[in-house]
Amino acid sequence: MMESRAAAAFEALKSLLDANGKRHWIREGSPTDDAPHPLWAHLVPPALRAFVARCGYPSILAPGLQLAFVPLHLQPTIGLAEAGFDWHLYKALLQAAVRRANGAFFAGSDLSDVGGWCLRLDGEEPRVWEIEESLALSQKKPASFDDWCIARIEKVRRKALAAGTGAKKPRKQNASDPADELSLYAGSASYYPTAVTPDARWPNGKVKSEGAFKDDKPEGPFRFFFMTGAPLASGHFENGVRQGTWQYHLPPSHTEDASEKRLWGRGEVKDGLEEGLWTGTDEWSPVERARVFHAGVLQELSAPPTR
């Protein structure tokens, strides 16, 4: 396991807070070898894994700065919206293991409203993006996990030094711990499978997909379904990986007629992720829209080109 600069900084902060009578500004975690969900693992850098192995999932409860680290195995349950996608569609694609995630929520300031920070691929390395109400905000210079974590630890260190030594008995900490809200998500982890499997079913018993398998991997044409049984997605697999033309449907509740099965989009998939031009509609209107993707991330949303 690699060394963790963030873990070293956090342990130094604990010593400082002890000396200043402000240990109540943090809640310690227990070191763990917790592993991320396979469809989120590409977003979890070694630096975060090393931090968790040394510090677990602590909380920072300093005045004006409260955050809790989210257990890696719970990341799928804290649903992040994805630009360009209908929220219910994107969530269903993840719960059916149709595609991997674009963002991994790793620290929360307000878990009930999905506010905090996530990791997204920015070039070759996952970078930290701020989250408000489940949507990642555009960042000018996203930081690495270590740099992001050390910057917040430094803020707490400065607050502690400015407040001085706590010779008096520490006052009761009034700030609530965001980690207390993790119980909202603990029961949903099983909804996110690690791969497309034969006979996969939703909690209500309805099938998630139909298609053939070769060497335990999906192969050839496949269809996926929402929990209601309505069509979700369809396309082809090659050696267990989505390739070629795919199409996604909006949830029936997003159309005027539940039997309408409106197409959200049709386009190309390369190595499991949307690539290039996708045309379809959205949850607000049946008017055709065009979306341009690169490696599964929306690049442009506009009216379709004139034919």
Instruction: Clarify whether residues 144 and 246 are in a common domain.
Output: no
Same domain, 104 and 136: yes
Domain identity same for 81 and 154? yes
Residue 264 lies in a domain: yes
Q: How far apart are CA 97 and CA 91, in angstroms?
A: 10
Range of the domain at 258: 209-302
**Looking at the structure, do residues 56 and 182 belong to the same domain, yes or no?**
yes
| HEC assignment per residue over 152-202 | HHHHHHHHHHHHCCCCCCCCCCCCCCHHHHHHHCHHHHHHCCCCCCCCCEC
- Same-domain pairing of 25 and 137: yes
Within-domain flag for 142: yes
Q: Residue 34 sits in a domain of what CATH number?
A: 3.40.1580
Domain presence at residue 203 = no
Tokens of 16: 């400082």
Task: With respect to residue 307, please indicate whether it lies within any of the assigned structural domains.
Answer: no
Q: Is residue 82 part of a domain?
A: yes
pLDDT string in tens for the chain (307-residue length):
578 899 999 999 999 999 999 999 999 999 999 999 999 999 999 999 999 999 999 999 999 999 999 999 999 998 899 988 989 999 999 999 999 999 999 999 988 888 999 999 876 789 999 999 999 887 788 999 999 999 999 999 999 999 876 544 555 545 678 888 888 888 888 889 999 999 999 999 999 999 999 999 999 999 999 999 999 999 999 999 999 999 999 988 755 454 556 899 999 999 999 999 999 988 777 788 899 999 999 999 886 555 5
Q: Do 17 and 153 belong to one domain? A: yes
Q: Is 46 exposed, middle or buried (0-12, 13-18, 19+ CB in 10 A)?
A: middle
The tokens 């993006």 sit on which residue? 129
Q: Is residue 173 part of a domain?
A: yes
204 in a structural domain: no
What is the domain-level CATH number for residue 269? 2.20.110.10
Q: Are residues 163 and 289 in the same domain?
A: no
**CA separation for the pair 84, 135 (Å, rounded):** 11
Distances, alpha carbon 198 to alpha carbons 40, 94, 217, in Å: 21, 17, 9
My answer on whether 219 and 134 are in the same domain is no
Residues 140 and 255 in one domain: no
* pLDDT for 174: 52
Same domain, 164 and 218: no
What is the pTM (predicted TM-score) of this model?
Answer: 0.87
Domain count, the chain: 2
Q: Would you say residue 202 lies in a domain? A: no
Query: What is the token pair recorded at 200?
Result: 């996969």
User: Within 107-250, where are the H helices?
Assistant: 145-163
Q: Are residues 242 and 169 in the same domain?
A: no
Same domain, 38 and 159: yes
> Residue 256 has what pLDDT?
47
